[in-house]
Amino acid sequence: MPKAPKRVLFLVNPGSGVNQSRKALLADFASQHLDQEKYTWEISFSESPSHLFELSRNAADQGVDIIAAVGGDGTVNQVAKGMIGSQSVLGIVPLGSGNGLGHHLHIPIEIPGALEILNRGKIKEIDTGSINDELFVSIAGVGFDALVAKKFAMAKRRGFLSYLSIVTNEYSYYRPRKYKLMIDGQVIRREALFVSFANTNQFGYNTIISPDALIDDGLIDVCIMKKVPLILAPGIIGLLLTRKIDSSGYVEIIKAKEISFSRRKNRPVNIDGEPVKLTKDIHIKVNPASLKVIVP
């Protein structure tokens, strides 16, 4: 007997990214490009990040085979949180702004291409990270990148130009902070513009902070970035975009399983591109092979 088709639920974050017109056409694309013999599908639209989490958790509890996040890294984060520990598999249709996880996994940003990846159905087990009680799939961080995440979340416009404008406007005034990091039992002290905890290689927009980061190695890449003199900043941006930032001397990368430190103030933390208020005491750990994802 032929196998029963698998169930796919597309969870759409209407507010993410800059691709609203394409999201509106998702049903048409799914009808045309998704393998109808393999899959039955439906679409749900969220009303908030917490609603995304609830929709994902309910779908996982109901045994939906594939829960596809339609949006950016923040959307993927909420969908993944809802399905951790279940048998459901994460699909990604990267229609957000930066799409860091989608870029890292080489998932096309055009809907037909992303649906073709779903049709192939290749499943990979990937790591996730935890920062205090919050899950992250791609990257978390403190310092300047968390400030940028906060300003970007408040911006009227999304997209790379808005992101670059925030970085440019804030960079000159931001003072590096001192960090005392406990990394796998060893204490290191650094003054840094930011410290990122990378499960993937980038923030999004193909800005590569950790070129050798692997999403299935059981490790988090601790990326400690010094503040670069303003005159050298254009060159550093070029290195970020060409996967060569680790050759600059301004970034130090340490692979680790567990990291902890304390801050003077409980400022927002960047979690998969979204600003989240956490306590002063921070604890990060890797969760090996904790999420199943459809990949090319």
What digits encode the pLDDT tens for the residues 273-285?
899 999 999 999 9
**Based on the domain organization, do 235 and 279 belong to the same domain?**
yes
Q: What digits encode the pLDDT tens for the residues 41-86?
A: 999 988 888 899 999 999 999 999 999 999 999 999 999 999 999 9
Cα angle: 101, vertex 189, 281; to 5 degrees: 65
The angle that helices 26-33 and 111-120 make with each other, rounded to 10 degrees, is 40
**Based on the domain organization, do 180 and 217 belong to the same domain?**
yes
Question: What is the total count of domains within the chain?
Answer: 2
**Mean pLDDT across the chain:** 88
Among 121, 150, 165, identify where a domain stops. Answer: 121
CB 43 within 8 A of CB 10: yes
Identify the pLDDT of residue 17. Answer: 54
Identify the pLDDT of residue 166. Answer: 81
Place of tokens 């799914």: 30
Tokens for 72, please give them. 């950016």
Range of the structural domain that residue 112 is part of = 6-121
Classify residue 97: in a domain, yes or no: yes
Cβ neighbours of residue 111 closer than 8 Å, sequence gap 6 or more: 22, 25, 26, 29, 33, 93, 95
**Based on the domain organization, do 176 and 260 belong to the same domain?**
yes
Residue 19 scores a pLDDT above 60 = no
Identify the pLDDT of residue 24. Answer: 66
Identify the pLDDT of residue 186. Answer: 96
Separation CA 281–CA 279 (nearest Å): 5
Buried b (16+ CB within 10 A) or exposed e, 82-110: bbbebebbbbbbbbbbbbbbbbbbebebe
Q: Please report, for the domain that includes residue 186, its CATH number.
A: 2.60.200.40
CB 143 within 8 A of CB 122: no
Identify the pLDDT of residue 21. Answer: 57
